[in-house]
Amino acid sequence: MPSVKRRKVDGERPRGLSKKQKETVKEELEEQQEEEKPAPTSDENTPEPEQTVPEPIRDAAEIEVVKSFKDLGIIDSLCDACIAMKYTAPTPIQAESIPPALQGRDLIGLSETGSGKTAAFALPILQALLENPQAFFGLVLTPTRELAYQISQVFESLGSLISVRCAVIVGGMDMVTQSIALGKKPHIVVATPGRLLDHLENTKGFSLRSLKYLVMDEADRLIDLDFGPILDKILKVLPRERRTYLFSATMSSNIESLQRANLRDPLRVSVSNKYQTVSTLLQKYLFIPHPQKDVYLVYLMNEFAGQSAIIFTRTVNETQRIAILLRTLGFGAIPLHGQLSQSARLGALNKFRARSREILVATDVAARGLDIPSVDVVLNYDLPPDSKTYIHRVGRTARAGKSGHAMSIVTQYDVEIWLRIEAALGEKQDEYKPDKEEVMVFKARVEEAQRHARNEMKNLHEDRGKKGSVLKGRRPAKGGKRGRDDMDREEG
- Over the range 187-204, which residues count as b (16 or more CB within 10 Å of their CB) and which as e? bbbbbbbbbbbbbbeebe
Cα(308)–Cα(376) distance, integer angstroms: 5
The per-residue pLDDT for range 326-377, each reduced to its tens digit, is 999 999 999 998 888 878 888 888 898 888 999 999 988 776 656 666 788 9
Q: What are phi and psi of 132, to 5 degrees?
A: -140, 75
Q: What is the pLDDT of residue 473?
A: 58
- Over the range 392-414, which residues count as b (16 or more CB within 10 Å of their CB) and which as e? bbbbbbbbeeeebbbbbbbbeeb
Q: What is the pLDDT of residue 52?
A: 35
Same CATH topology for 75-270 and 281-475?
A: yes
CA proximity to 475, closest of 338, 335, 324 = 338
Q: What is the pLDDT of residue 378?
A: 92
Cα(191)–Cα(171) distance, integer angstroms: 9
Q: Going residue by residue through the chain, which has 492 residues, state the pLDDT in tens, using 9 for 90 and above.
A: 444 444 444 444 444 455 555 555 456 555 555 544 444 444 444 444 443 333 333 333 333 444 789 999 999 999 999 998 888 889 889 999 999 999 999 999 888 766 788 999 999 999 999 999 999 999 999 988 888 999 999 999 999 888 899 999 999 889 999 999 999 999 999 999 999 999 999 998 899 999 999 999 988 778 765 788 898 899 999 999 999 999 887 666 654 566 666 788 889 888 765 556 777 788 999 999 999 999 999 999 999 988 899 999 999 999 999 999 999 999 999 999 888 887 888 888 889 888 899 999 998 877 665 666 678 899 999 999 888 888 888 887 866 667 789 999 999 999 999 999 999 888 899 999 999 999 999 999 999 999 999 999 999 888 877 766 777 655 554 455 556 666 565 543
Q: What is the pLDDT of residue 488?
A: 62
Cα(152)–Cα(133) distance, integer angstroms: 18
Task: Give the full edge-to-edge strand order of the sheet including 243-248.
Answer: 166-169, 188-191, 138-141, 213-217, 243-248, 107-110, 267-270
Cβ 326 vs Cβ 320: under 8 Å = no
CA proximity to 202, closest of 236, 185, 170, 179 = 179
Q: What is the pLDDT of residue 136?
A: 96
Q: What is the pLDDT of residue 12?
A: 43
Give the chain's largest Cα–Cα span. Answer: 104
Cβ 227 vs Cβ 197: under 8 Å = no
Beta-sheet strands, E only, within 411-481: 430-431
Cα(464)–Cα(379) distance, integer angstroms: 28
- Over the range 436-470, which residues count as b (16 or more CB within 10 Å of their CB) and which as e? eeebeebeeebeebbeebeebbeebeeeeeeeeee
Under CATH, which number does the domain 281-475 receive? 3.40.50.300
Q: What is the pLDDT of residue 369?
A: 57
User: Which H or E run contains 407?
Assistant: strand 404-410
The per-residue pLDDT for range 158-209, each reduced to its tens digit, is 998 888 999 999 998 899 999 999 999 999 999 999 999 999 999 988 999 9
Cβ 115 vs Cβ 371: under 8 Å = no
Beta-sheet strands, E only, within 114-253: 138-141, 166-169, 188-191, 213-217, 243-248
Cα(351)–Cα(360) distance, integer angstroms: 9
What is the number of helices (H) and of strands (E) in the chain?
20, 14
How many alpha carbons fall within 13 Å on the CB side of residue 240? 3
- What's the full length of the chain, in residues? 492
CATH level 2 (architecture), domain 75-270: 3-Layer(aba) Sandwich (3.40)
Cβ 251 vs Cβ 108: under 8 Å = yes
Q: What is the pLDDT of residue 466?
A: 74
Cβ 381 vs Cβ 258: under 8 Å = no
Q: What is the pLDDT of residue 146?
A: 87
Domain ranges of the chain: 2-40, 75-270, 281-475
Q: Under 8 Å CB-to-CB from 229, ≥6 apart: which residues?
A: none
User: Which H or E run contains 376?
Assistant: none
| Amino acid at position 26, single letter | K
CA proximity to 366, closest of 355, 384, 356 = 384
Q: Under 8 Å CB-to-CB from 491, ≥6 apart: which residues?
A: 143, 144, 221, 363, 364, 365, 366, 367, 368
Q: What is the pLDDT of residue 458?
A: 92
List helix spans (H) across 260-373.
293-303, 316-328, 342-353
